[in-house]
Homo-oligomer: A and B are copies of this chain.
Amino acid sequence: MRIAIDAMGGDNAPRAAVEGAIQAAGEYGVQVYLVGLRSEIERYLGEAAKGDSRINIVDANEIINNDEAPVSAIKQKKDSSMVVGLKLVKEGKCDAFLSAGSTGAFLAGSLLKVGRIKGIDRPALAPIIPTAKGFCMIIDAGANMDSKPKNLQQFAIMGSIYMEKVMGIKNPRVGLLNIGAEEHKGNELTKQSIELLRALDLNFIGNVEARDITEGACEVCVTDGFAGNVLLKGVEGVAMTIFKLLKEEFMKSAVTKLAALMLKKGLKAFKKKFDYTEYGGAPFLGIDGIMIKAHGSSDAKAIKNAVRQAKLLYDNKCLEIISSEISKLGADNVE
């Protein structure tokens, strides 16, 4: 597999991208294409990597920053690492694109430069959060506002395929994010969507409340992008706040400091579980190419993990499966 990596995106660019790419090439045997300023990239490429035929540099001399308006940045900065990377996928020169840069530019660029899978109305950004029992994909987490029931139906199909093929979860449980478990609850969107979701050949478990998501009620949480974004960021926020206050609690006295030391190992593993940067990549599903948005604060390991995700999407032919399932849906809808 050939993967284009935006070397200039993210808080730790280009170092994290370059080091992550080298590790991924070694571990997964993929061809990596580091896109960005050649001199910057070469600074972090060791001598061994320079002679490695799996590691390539593709020149791009502009950078899109987080504070730029996404659509105009994509349109104007044709020589940016984001646009050049996306074009490698569009032109069939790479099979996947990975970026830790501006989420807005990544979403806009994927739509404008690569385009949608036929039959998909609204591609969805689908991050995965840790739960007490494993993982849950939130689809959509903010790529779309004001979704329609039909969009939610497609989100359910894409999310289920991803969790099964990439995360290895057999028959993943799909839930509709709602304000209560009862059938009649919710807003116009959820009321109109529940029957459409039930009609799919998925393990749909009905409405799921936000408080049950982190407990592990389902593996795919279907929602419109506004509520999904609120859930994702709310969960991130309270986890951050709790860990910060917990740390203050530990620093209060000699006794609490000693206790913290005794708990160090366990707490570190525990905090890691709730560290949302550990889960690195959110796939942008529904785009006609494998697109992974890595967290802005990704380190080399997170980039490497995101490459692994892309490879699993590729090896398991997820885009082809999505395309085929969506086309069946179209035929069903006509009946």
Check A210–B234 contact: CB distance below 8 A.
Answer: yes
Q: Is the interface of A mostly helix, strand, loop or mixed?
A: helix
Binds B, one of A16-24, A251-259, A300-308: A251-259
Considering the chains assembled together, what is the distance between the CA atoms of A89 and B135 in angstroms? 48
Chain B residues, Cβ within 8 Å of A38? none
- Which A residues between 238 and 279 are near B, CB-CB below 8 angstroms? 238-242, 244-246, 249-250, 252, 255-256, 258-260, 262-263, 266-267, 270, 273-274
Check A226–B142 contact: CB distance below 8 A.
Answer: no
Check A273–B249 contact: CB distance below 8 A.
Answer: no
Check A262–B270 contact: CB distance below 8 A.
Answer: no
Task: Kindly provide the distance from the CB of A274 to the nearest chain B CB, expressed in whole angstroms.
Answer: 7
Check A237–B215 contact: CB distance below 8 A.
Answer: yes
Chain B residues, Cβ within 8 Å of A229? 179, 210
Task: Kindly provide the distance from the CB of A69 to the nearest chain B CB, expressed in whole angstroms.
Answer: 9
A59 in contact (CB, < 8 A): no
A213 in contact (CB, < 8 A): yes
Task: Kindly provide the distance from the CB of A58 to the nearest chain B CB, expressed in whole angstroms.
Answer: 30
A117 in contact (CB, < 8 A): no
Chain B residues, Cβ within 8 Å of A132? 241, 244-245
Task: Kindly provide the distance from the CB of A181 to the nearest chain B CB, expressed in whole angstroms.
Answer: 11
Considering the chains assembled together, what is the distance between the CA atoms of A142 and B236 in angstroms? 22
Chain B residues, Cβ within 8 Å of A145? 179, 186-188
Chain B residues, Cβ within 8 Å of A30? none
A231 in contact (CB, < 8 A): yes
Check B241–A242 contact: CB distance below 8 A.
Answer: no
Considering the chains assembled together, what is the distance between the CA atoms of A78 and B267 in angstroms? 54
Q: What is the interface size of chain A, counting residues whose CB is below 8 A from a CB of the partner?
A: 55
User: Which B residue's beta carbon lies closest to that of A103?
Assistant: B180
Oligomeric state, in number of copies?
A: 2
With A179-B225, A187-B226, A226-B186 already in contact, the answer to whether A239 and B237 are too (CB < 8 A) is: no
User: Which B residue's beta carbon lies closest to that of A226?
Assistant: B187
Cβ contacts A to B, 24 pairs, < 8 Å: A145-B179, A145-B188, A146-B187, A179-B230, A187-B226, A210-B233, A210-B234, A211-B233, A211-B234, A212-B237, A214-B238, A215-B240, A226-B227, A227-B227, A231-B234, A234-B234, A234-B235, A238-B239, A239-B242, A242-B242, A245-B273, A250-B263, A258-B262, A259-B263
Q: 17 new A-B pairs (CB below 8 Å) besides A215-B240, A239-B242, A249-B263? A: A131-B241, A145-B179, A145-B186, A145-B187, A146-B188, A179-B226, A190-B226, A210-B231, A210-B233, A211-B240, A213-B237, A214-B238, A215-B237, A230-B230, A234-B235, A256-B266, A259-B259
